A = this chain, B = another copy of it.
Amino acid sequence: MGRPSLKEKLLSDGLQLVHKRGFGASSVRDIVQAAGVPQGSFTNHFASKEAFGLEILERYHDMASAAVKATLRNDAVSPLRRLRAWIDGQLEYLRQEDMRRGCLYGNLSAEASEESEAIRKRVAAVFAENQASVAYCLEAAIDSGELAANADVQELAGFIVSSLQGAILVAKAQRSPTPVERFERVLFRSVLPAGTVSKRRARVSR
């Protein structure tokens, strides 16, 4: 039925463009040109530009999830090494385009939060999901004795996720990997070894 679809090309090339130049700054014409497909194909496959945004967000999420599975949730490696590998992986990805891209989640959080409620909610959910993965890794760190047993895992995980976003954001403005590298150093030298954010009465932390 039908012909081979150009949707894949639109999604993969479009994601690259939007990630580098921003969602609002990338017009539909820019996107179809980057993908080398005719204008009509965009309308054929996406009900609106917002729907396209949600799909590339999903695509980015697939990549990020794969990285999480290979690092944070990879029980074959010791917990704090996994956490470091997760951050190093992002740093390497950021360097590829001279720190210009930033994190798609953070970019969309800043620029699309007021334009599209659907995108804002998806980004918020992804942040929560990342926090859960970091928490999983920290839990393992407690079990293996790499982290103090009384550490509040959810609290630390949320702190790590948001602080990493900030480091990437500042790195984007300064076009330098320094903020992310510094985040990693301080995290491992100062936050985690001392790691004594003790659990408060309830474990909920939300």
Residues of chain A at the chain B interface (Cβ within 8 Å): 20-22, 24-25, 100, 102, 105-107, 109-111, 113-115, 120, 123-124, 127-128, 155-156, 158-159, 161-175, 178-179, 182-183, 185-186, 189-191, 193-198, 205-206
- The distance in angstroms between the C-alpha atoms of A21 and B113, with both chains bound, is 9
Q: List 17 A-B contacts (CB under 8 A).
A: A24-B25, A24-B111, A109-B172, A109-B173, A110-B110, A124-B174, A124-B175, A127-B174, A155-B185, A161-B170, A162-B170, A162-B171, A163-B163, A163-B166, A165-B166, A189-B197, A190-B195
- The distance in angstroms between the C-alpha atoms of A178 and B110, with both chains bound, is 17
> Copies per complex?
2
**Distance (Å) between the CB of A107 and the closest chain B CB?**
5
Residues of B near A100 (CB, < 8 A) are: 113-114
Contact of A170 among B165, B167, B174 (CB under 8 A): B165
Name A's interface SS: helix
Identify the closest chain B residue to A206 (Cβ).
B178
Is B102 within 8 A of A170, CB to CB?
no
Residues of B near A179 (CB, < 8 A) are: 158, 162
Residues of B near A172 (CB, < 8 A) are: 109-110, 113
Is A127 within 8 A of B173, CB to CB?
yes
Residues of B near A158 (CB, < 8 A) are: 178-179, 182
Closest 10 CB pairs of A and B: A166-B166, A194-B194, A110-B110, A163-B163, A165-B166, A109-B173, A111-B111, A24-B24, A162-B170, A162-B166
